Chain A
Amino acid sequence: MSVESSLSAPVRRREAAGAQPRNRAGTRARRALPSLLAWAWALLSLYPLAWLVMQSFRSDADILSRPWGLPVDGRLDGYAKAFESTPLVQYFLNSLVVTVCVVLVSVACCTGAGYAFSKLRFPGSNTVFAVFIGVLVVPAPVLLLPVFLISRDLGILDSYIGLIGPYAAGVLPLGVFLMKTHFDSIPASFAEAAEIDRATPWQTFVMVMLPQVRPAAATVAVLAFMSAWNEYIYALVAIRSRELFTLPIGIADLSAKKFVYGYAPVFAAMVVTIIPVYLAFLLAQRSFLNSLALGGGVKG
């Protein structure tokens, strides 16, 4: 807050001299460049996705000879072949089971832990929280190897649990941080009022606190969904049996065999993979964008 007062003064003095006569029409002209830039980047973000979807409706010959052309006849061959040549439905179900479990586990854990760190004071709570956040810094491969070795010793490699556990744990640091900041923003008077009304601590938590953090919980859910649905490296090393493949390793496998099955099935399988994750984002986009932007604001 002190930044703004110390800043605006010199800026004002310097600029006050020159530029009084500026008309209204200037405002629109001055926005032209930012608009251009903003829409150009939107095109750059969206075009590859649109291209991907278009390719999935074309034949291999078209994909190779005229990569930028529109679909001529909207073929579904790619999809037919993708479902026929690989157990795509099985992959999809595997991904779905793992992802749904990860979302449930991490939302429950993050809400509980976030509440504990925010509202309950217990000995060493700050230290434990610091360790939590510190884990965010540890490089992925440092965890990848030992998690793999531990899972091997526990005998949960090559199983749903072997993916769900590490994925859910991976969401915790950021998730707990998000939930804690949201619980922090609930004024103490809410809990006090509940106490006066003779609510038990559990009732306070469920009936007073939970409804207030719903947007944050939605954000954690989307984060968990994205990380579990999109994860590739760990699934690659932990899953051996084809019938347990998740979509990412499934399509990487399909792509490696594009000279056998052709190009169109790869595009079709990719479209099938991205639909759920974009759906999940669209459903929760408002609270997702707000919570993460709020994170920037709070820390900034």
Chain B
Amino acid sequence: MTFDRVDVVLEIVKIALIVGLLLNVVPIMVWVERRGSALIQDRLGPNRVGPFGLIQSMADALKFILKEDVIPLQAHKWLYTIAPMFGLIPAMTTIAVVPWGRPFFIPTEIVYGPRVSGVCIIGAAILAILAIVLGGATAKYHRKPNYSKLNFTIGAIVAVSLFLGALALIGIMLGIKTAGAVHLPGGGRLFEPIIADVNVGILLIFALASLGVYGIVTAGWASSNKFSLFGGIRASAQMISYELSLALAAVSALMVAGSLRLTDIVTRQTGYFVLADTVKIPAWNCFSPAMWLSMIVFVVSAFAETNRLPFDFAEAEAELVAGYHTEYSSMKFAMFFMSEYIAMTTMSALVVTLFFGGWDVPWYNEPATVTGFLLSAIAFLAKVSFLLFVFVWVRWTIPRLKYDILMKIGWKVFLPLAVANIVLVAWFIAARWI
């Protein structure tokens, strides 16, 4: 495999984009979680900082950084410090093998025209409106009697940076207009919107996901706290059990695509199922009857694997105070928080890739151009966002199970169902029904 300087730059851009997006998912999801729970429980939720309380998460993040970092005297200092990183790194790495858009050919040059100015002006307008709304809200907030300097500063900084972004877009437009055409380095080359297109992609995901449990287990043990230890032990038992049904449920999607590579799995789902020669349905796995069982098993196991309610036995605040992170404070606690939400995002992306057609836009044949790429990336983001909302929705709707029921469901219901489903899918494939 040969690669040149442009490939390296493109790869760095992709990594920066994905890592930036993942890190930004966390504050947004915290906001969605709090507002969503408020919606479901008929309360208001955080609505003071910024419009709709949107900047609340940023204030929380700053608070995390500024809090005192306490290490208990009894704790094993090394492992106590390393545990949150052990949890966060696998969660962040997994997304590398998930494709997030239609591969497209990078145009050789950008010529000034109505389309360029349209895109730039609309983008600049959106950024400017956001900046004005935020700035206005911040200024209004300033006049309230109980305002805090911290929130005011955050609001002002974000508003100013949004405004600068709008100015930059206008600048880019003017620059292209005076230059006439801008030659892109690496133009005409195929851009694949995936960080690492490994031929064992799905196995890599399961490998890294299975390493994620060490963060929780180590944290539980290193804290020297009985509640933490219980949380850690529960987490390890739970994650081993559900990993099996998770992997077996994914096998059905792999069998249909005949590959372990996630790009192949998505490509397999880009066509149509034609019902009775008239109705066209996108060929997503979730629309084929052979997949329904495995989809249910996979999604439920994904909840268990990410330690979300109704399966959050590692935390279980009614029984274990706060479970494995009882002793943690400051940024170390924030890292556990981040790894939970990032793991959720990765799992949603995986469910979308395996069962909901990945980046495929329904009833639309994406061309291999920038437009097709953007549309498919937006479709992917929309599907992932919907699934993330489902995670929140389920958390605040379904109460926690009992621990023995959790283990019983994992071993006695989901595992046999997942195995049975493999046989079912094999039968469907042999009979050429899918």
The answer to whether A and B assemble together is no
Question: Which residues of B are in contact with A by a Cβ distance under 8 Å?
Answer: none
